[in-house]
């Protein structure tokens, strides 16, 4: 048991070190030797835990998915969807470091041409959409959000907004979370209150005159 | 004049070839030799037009900014903001190829660690936000959108949604523009009609009960 704990702790340290290296130098310029050096370990020892950079990315993604599952579990028994959601939003976009956004962009960029990364990224995205959809369906069934709220369409819009925030956070030098998050939260609030029709018929609304 | 035209045409062909290479192999794996081969030109000749890969990316971005300026010019004299906007949205997210989204991700990822790319990406983003803000201010002054519409906040939300769509388009294998664009357009329509309050006070709305 103690050795398992050490192994888990060692893997955590390696993943943390890899994040630092990928953010600092980019995925392509980072070598296994860089990761080993960053966590004060020999390259030979590192290979016992992860056989390749791809395996490290897989490990990082699995960790992210576990954290995501924990985040979603925090909704269990919560009686106010938007309060819990706003708390998670603050955690992901205000408290989390900018490095997380940079890492996302690195993985997304690699996903467009490496099939393994592509599968990891698309499964992660589909997982978030599916979890959000179920969450919204449950909240709707519990009367916490509008009966007319389209759970699937809103889940996709939330992911679109979240991905867009990750991009802006990574590339806008003076990104101000305190300024940009509240309008996004208000928009999501309006969606779950059913204040915005999402049916295709309303694509070109009448101009206000 | 004829030689200038040839030069411009040659630059266009090089930029097209570079896009193909960057999308196919990623920015890092693409060499100047690859770009030269893709457009049937010697490497020596290529260097007469672009001294480096960075210069090619700069060229691609300048071209994008010119196209963007033309897109925004199409609003001049238009009497229905949302109709023109929806047409541009269709152009950028339905008609444009997925390759454009992949190229964006490549440039954003590189922008997080190469200062030159960082400047290019952040200036481009700031340019879009500024143009959208002015456009919304003009539409508001002309009575085409709600007097209460917050031009700057809406411009940032539109960019957030657009960036998020680019990400989903590049990484979701079964991305369906016909399904995902209309809700985004409806959301923007609701914003410009003033149907969604964006003030921070409303971050945690009362649950619907």
Q: C-alpha distances in angstroms, A21 versus A54, A61, A65, A151, B115?
A: 14, 16, 21, 38, 17
**Segment (H or E) for B4:** helix B2-25
The string of pLDDT tens digits covering residues A172-199 is 999 998 899 999 999 999 999 998 988 7
**Nearest Cβ partner of B208 from A28, A109, A143?**
A143
With a CB-CB cutoff of 8 Å, which residues 83-142 of chain A face chain B? 83, 86, 102, 105-106, 108-113, 118, 121-122, 125-126
- The whole model's pTM is what? 0.89
Cβ atoms A75, A81 nearer than 8 A: yes
The string of pLDDT tens digits covering residues A88-108 is 887 777 766 788 899 999 999
- Whether A170 sits inside 8 A of B25 (CB atoms) is no
The pLDDT value given to residue A209: 41
- Could you give the 3-state DSSP secondary structure of residue A127? helix
For B83, residues 6+ apart whose C-beta sits below 8 A from its C-beta are A204
The pLDDT value given to residue A2: 53
List the one residue out of B13, B47, B11, B12 whose CA is nearest residue B31. B47
If you write DSSP's letter for every residue of A157-177 in order, what string do you get?
Answer: HHHHHHHHHHHHHHH-TT--H
Report d(CA B175, CA B195) in Å as an integer.
Answer: 28
Q: Which residues of chain B have pLDDT under 50?
A: 1, 202-209
Cβ atoms A187, B157 nearer than 8 A: yes
- Whether B163 sits inside 8 A of A162 (CB atoms) is no
Closest Cα in chain A to B145: A208
Report d(CA B112, CA B125) in Å as an integer.
Answer: 14
Kindly tell me the sign of the dihedral angle through the C-alpha atoms of B115, B119, B122, B124. negative
**Nearest Cβ partner of B196 from A28, A194, A196?**
A196
Compute the count of residue pairs across chains A and B with CB atoms less than 8 Å apart: 225
The pLDDT value given to residue A11: 93
Residue-wise pLDDT tens for chain A (209 aa)?
A: 455 657 789 999 999 999 999 998 888 889 999 999 999 999 999 999 999 998 998 899 889 888 888 888 888 776 688 888 888 887 777 766 788 899 999 999 989 888 888 998 999 999 999 999 999 999 999 999 999 999 999 999 999 999 999 999 999 999 998 899 999 999 999 999 998 988 755 444 444 44
The pLDDT value given to residue B172: 95
The pLDDT value given to residue A90: 78
Report d(CA A79, CA A207) in Å as an integer.
Answer: 38
Angle at A54 (CA atoms; ends A68, A11), nearest 5 degrees: 60
Q: Which residues of B touch A169 (CB under 8 A)?
A: none
The pLDDT value given to residue A5: 59
The pLDDT value given to residue B69: 87
């Amino acid at each position: 048991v103690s050795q398992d704990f050490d192994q888990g702790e060692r893997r955590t340290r390696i993943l943390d070190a890899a994040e630092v290296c990928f953010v600092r130098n980019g995925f392509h310029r980072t070598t296994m030797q860089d990761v080993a050096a960053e966590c004060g370990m020999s390259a030979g020892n590192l290979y016992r835990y992860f056989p390749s950079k791809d395996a490290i990315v897989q490990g990082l993604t699995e960790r992210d998915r576990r954290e995501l599952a924990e985040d979603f579990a925090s909704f269990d028994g919560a009686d106010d969807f938007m309060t819990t959601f706003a708390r998670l939003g603050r955690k992901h976009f205000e408290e989390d470091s900018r490095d997380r956004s940079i890492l996302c962009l690195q993985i997304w960029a690699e996903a467009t041409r490496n099939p393994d990364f592509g599968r990891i990224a698309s499964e992660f995205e589909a997982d978030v959409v599916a979890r959000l959809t179920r969450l919204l369906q449950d909240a709707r069934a519990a009367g916490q959000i509008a009966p007319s709220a389209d759970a699937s369409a809103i889940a996709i819009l939330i992911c679109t907004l979240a991905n867009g925030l990750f991009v802006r956070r990574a590339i806008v030098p003076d990104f101000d979370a305190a300024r940009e998050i509240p309008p996004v939260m208000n928009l999501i609030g309006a969606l779950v209150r059913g204040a915005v029709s999402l049916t295709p018929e309303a694509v070109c609304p009448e101009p206000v005159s």
